[in-house]
Amino acid sequence: MKPATGRAALPILLIEDEPSVTAFLRAALERSGYSVVPASSGAAGLELLESGEFRGVISDIRMPGSVNGAEVHAWIQGHRPELRSRIILISGDTANPETQGFLERSGTPCIEKPFRVQKFISLVEETFGEP
Amino acid sequence: MELALDATRSPHVGEFLEKFVARTARLMNAQGAAAAIFRGPEIESLAAHGRLDGGTAHQEALRRGLQTALEKGAEEIRTARAATAFGKEAARTLGLNGAKLTLAQFDGNDAAPLGIVCLAREEPELSWEDRRLLRALVSHASLTLENFRRFSQLERSRKQWVEDIDAISDYIVVHDRAWRIVRMNRSLASHIGAPPSALVGQPMSRLDALVNSPARVPCPLCREVERSHEEYVQASMKRLFLVSTSRIGGPHDEDLRTIHVLKDITDRREAERRYRELFDSIQEGLFFATPDGRFLDVNDAMVRMLGYAGREELLQADVRDHLYLAPENRLRFLRAVESRGVLRNYEEPLRRKDGSILHTLQNITAVRDAEGNVTQIRGLMLDVTEQKTFQAQLQRERDFNQKILNTTRSMIFVLDTAGLVSYANRRCFEAGYREEELIGARLVDWVHAPQRADFEAALETTAHGVQVDNLELPIRRSDGSTGHFSVSLSPMRDEQNAVNSIVVVMTDITDAAILQAKLAHAEKMATIGQLVSGVAHEVNNPLAAILGFTDLLLESTDVSAPAKTQLQIILQEAQRTKDIVQDLLSFARQRPARRELVQLNTVLRQTLKLRTYDFSSHGVEVSVSLESGLAPVMGDAQQLQQVFLNILNNAYDAIQEAHRRGRIEIRTEQRGASVELTFSDNGTGITEPSRIFDPFFTTKGAGKGTGLGLSICYGIVRAHGGEIQCWNRAPSEGSVFLVRLPAASEAAAAAGVEGRR
């Protein structure tokens, strides 16, 4: 485990395809004192993950394109073990049984859209630590 | 000699008589003499000499005279006037007027005289010597005549015998010990081609050709010469003879006679052969039997029918007990024969040799003796097994078809091409239609009026030979209600392949239609679930942004207070949108429900607790009747609570709308393998009970509900393997919701299975 101070300086990787959602999340996070690197797709997120260091990853589950949130989660489990418990997932709907099963198995924290900013920030603080 | 003599009798008598009269006339010194021999009253032979001889007229007179003289009779020798003895007429014709005649009789062994002799002499009176001479002559002549007569009788009977055997058409030949022909009848002689006399004395080998005998035996007809009688059948080239032989011994060995009688039995044999051939070639069984059950003769067909290897086997077999299926059958048959004599088309199943059953049709004639006892039974037998089998099969088929027609749940009609009912199966009458209203009626009249044209068109199509399947039509039932029917029409054709009637099969599929509708509903629900899920996801993104930015703005110090008030409104509306979407999502949510033993009574009580305050504060009376010992169900208590809550809310809303003192009755009941819960209210009732479970269907005012509540209930109950129904009570008396859930199996209940998340 690396010292918190070192990791605390790192940005949060935000993978979200919806620009308006990305904009509001980025604003909320930055206002709370976090730095953010956005990625507009799962594939773009993975590219950043391969080269960069992040404090944690926030990813939408359902995204268009070849890589979705579950796959990002799986990739991290295999390639970036230090980020294993530093993932927050955002779901648009939890009705999908696949999503349900995945969430139950992984135990990864998840927040359902739409949500209040306060609730989101407290989950981020809980998972990644205060800024 | 003009005196005619019957040649067929004795030629010797006439000759003798001629000599006798001539000699007597000479010895007795008479000028004329005549004599007649009588056979009965008739003159058999007549002879005249000297002056008594003459022409025809003379001879006739002489006959009469002698006859008259014999009739008068008298002593042995007498002398009389000619007119007295012969009668005047005869005497005159003979020129004997005034003359005297000497008369003497020939006496035979019998009382009657053999004849008479008369002498015409110059000296009519006889001297003693003359008299003695005449007596001697007459007596000697009488003896001779008697002998002649005997001989002639013998001759006659011999001739008679020859004639008799000549008259026999059978061939007769007699030979002696030396194999020489002694006698032969005319028919045999003519067969050989020679007069019988020419063959007498010839060796028997002359007859070799007759019977194709090789000329090595002395008699072609003798076989066992030691036997006094023998009989056998001998075939010649063309003919068939029955040879009967008798051997008669005489006082001496030499007198042994062998008599062969050959009866030509060719024709009889031929007739017999033809009869036999007919008998055997006939395809019907023929038999002769004794009343005690033995076959005397049977033909080949009979043997075949009864399954025996051959005639002999059947004739020798004791079939009495085997043949009849039961002894009383045989007795019944015998009684019928005895009493009626002739049986026509008598049906009797018989047992073949191998035990299989032969169905027969018999025509029987009884033959009776003089006392009227049946001595023989003659019969003709037909094998009708195939017909019987065919008949039985036909009957079975008919029964089978009848059963199908009678037990099917479908109504089956036969219509003529005009569409009139000519047949209706039992189901139609079970369904309540009456025969008199069906037969001859137009079936189309039972079709719901707006669809009659469809039915008419289908009839038309079928009449043209095309089958119409599964036409779904509303049809009026016998009780007046309308049911949903599946109708199939099939053309039925006659021998000419022309459609002459139409078979209509109608099945009430009302229940099936309901089920179909339910299935369609379930499918619709699943589709809507997917749709809602997609929509919710799409809505959530912008909503997340709206809600998020509103939050951020509200926290911002740059925003003025009045603006924050408006932002607060945006926040509220966004929140409301979020709730709607949440509702949608929970409808579409397909998370696996828990499956554990649930006590419905407990769930109901808990649910009621949630609403107790609301109900009592609004004056809604709730009566609860829960069956104790209600079986548990396998399910998700929370989901079921959601269902009950939804129903209760619905009832509450309906009561509120009705503006009357509300009342809700809740009842649980065990019904077989199901548990039933009913919720009755006295609210406004449901506008469209059939649509109440459709998603987004709501009768509530704007903002009061999404219309998804009862759809969610529907989904939950279905997922529990149960069903949910609702209907209105009497008009404006409120509605009833029924939830039926399958009771947990005893095994599951005993195990207390815990569901998993």
Q: Which of residues 397-456 of B touch A (CB under 8 A)?
A: none
pLDDT (tens digit, 9 = 90+) per residue, B674-690? 999 999 999 888 877 77
* Residue A88: count of CB within 10 angstroms of its CB: 20
With contact defined as beta carbons under 8 Å apart, do B295 and B381 qualify?
Answer: no
Query: Would you state the pLDDT for residue B679?
Result: 94
Nearest CA to B217 among B179, B254, B255?
B179
* Residue A96: count of CB within 10 angstroms of its CB: 21
- Could you give the C-alpha distances from B60 to B3, B6, B38, in angstroms and in order? 11, 16, 15
Query: Would you state the pLDDT for residue B641?
Result: 85
Taking all residues of chain B, what is their mean pLDDT, rounded to a whole number?
84
pLDDT category, A36, cuts 50, 70, 90? very high
With contact defined as beta carbons under 8 Å apart, do B543 and B578 qualify?
Answer: yes
CA distance A38 to chain B (A): 16
User: Is B531 part of the contact surface with chain A (CB cutoff 8 Å)?
Assistant: no
Rounded distance between C-alpha atoms, residue B22 and residue B492, angstroms:
122
Long-range contacts of B196-204 (CB under 8 A, 24+ apart): B196/B166, B203/B179, B204/B173, B204/B175, B204/B179, B204/B180
Which chain B residues are closer than 8 Å to A118 by Cβ? 551
Which chain B residues are closer than 8 Å to A24 by Cβ? 544-545, 548-549, 552
Phi, psi of B613 (to 5 degrees): -60, -50
Structure tokens at B439: 């037969």
Q: Which of residues 571-590 of B touch A (CB under 8 A)?
A: 574, 578, 585, 588-590
User: A20, A25, A93: best mutation site toward chain B, by most B Cβ within 10 Å?
Assistant: A93
Per mean pLDDT, which range of A10-19, B148-157, B284-293 is the poorest? B148-157
Cβ distance of B574 and A114 shorter than 8 Å: yes
Q: Give, as one character, the DSSP assignment of residue B444.
A: G
Which chain B residues are closer than 8 Å to A99 by Cβ? none
Query: Would you state the pLDDT for residue B586?
Result: 67
Residues in CB range of A25: below 8 A, 6 or more apart: A14, A16, A36, A58, A120, B548
Pairing of strands B411-416, B374-383: unpaired
Nearest to B533 among A24, A31, A96 (CB): A96
Mean pLDDT across B432-461: 89
Instruction: Kindly report whether the global pTM for this prediction surpasses the value 0.90.
Output: no
Residue B503 pLDDT > 90: yes
Q: If DSSP states are collapsed to H, E and C, what string results for B111-158? A: CCEEEEEEEECCCCCCCHHHHHHHHHHHHHHHHHHHHHHHHHHHHHHH
pLDDT (tens digit, 9 = 90+) per residue, B273-283? 888 888 888 88
Pairing of strands B674-681, B723-728: unpaired
Query: Would you state the pLDDT for residue B696?
Result: 59
Rounded distance between C-alpha atoms, residue B552 and residue B559, angstroms:
10
Q: Which residues of B318-334 are buried (b: 16+ CB within 10 A; e: fewer)?
A: ebeeebbeeeeebeebb
pLDDT (tens digit, 9 = 90+) per residue, B390-441? 888 888 888 888 888 888 888 999 998 888 999 998 888 888 888 888 889 9
Per mean pLDDT, which range of B79-88, B328-337, B406-415, B704-713 is the poorest? B704-713
pLDDT category, B254, cuts 50, 70, 90? low
User: A21, A25, A105, A113: best mutation site toward chain B, by most B Cβ within 10 Å?
Assistant: A113
Higher pLDDT, B138 or B746: B138
Query: Would you state the pLDDT for residue B756?
Result: 35
Cβ distance of A113 and B541 shorter than 8 Å: yes
pLDDT (tens digit, 9 = 90+) per residue, B514-533? 777 766 766 676 677 777 77
pLDDT category, B505, cuts 50, 70, 90? very high
Higher pLDDT, B351 or B585: B351
Mean pLDDT across B23-38: 89
Q: End-to-end alpha-carbon separation of chain B, Å? A: 166
Mean pLDDT across B688-714: 66
Burial degree of B167 (CB within 10 A; 0-12, 13-18, 19+): exposed
With contact defined as beta carbons under 8 Å apart, do B87 and B65 qualify?
Answer: yes
Rounded distance between C-alpha atoms, residue B269 and residue B487, angstroms:
76
Q: If DSSP states are collapsed to H, E and C, what string results for B471-540? A: EEEEEECCCCCEEEEEEEEEEEECCCCCEEEEEEEEEECHHHHHHHHHHHHHHHHHHHHHHHHHHHHHHH
Q: Please report, rounded to a whole number, the percentage of residues in chain B having pLDDT higher than 70.
A: 91
Query: Would you state the pLDDT for residue A22?
Result: 93
CA distance B641 to chain A (A): 20
Strand order in the sheet with A12-15: A36-39, A12-15, A56-60, A87-91, A110-112
Residue B247 pLDDT > 60: yes
pLDDT category, B143, cuts 50, 70, 90? confident
Nearest CA to B636 among B668, B681, B589?
B589
pLDDT (tens digit, 9 = 90+) per residue, B616-654? 888 889 999 999 889 999 888 888 888 898 888 888 888
Residue B588 pLDDT > 70: no
Task: Give me the interface pTM, i.e. the ipTM.
Answer: 0.86
- Strand pairing partners for B582? none
Mean pLDDT across B83-109: 84
Q: Which of residues 592-611 of B touch A (CB under 8 A)?
A: 592
- Could you give the C-alpha distances from A97 to B72, B121, B592, in angstroms and in order? 165, 180, 8
Mean pLDDT across B62-73: 84
CA distance B606 to chain A (A): 27
pLDDT category, B750, cuts 50, 70, 90? low
pLDDT (tens digit, 9 = 90+) per residue, A75-108? 999 999 889 889 999 987 655 667 777 777 888 8
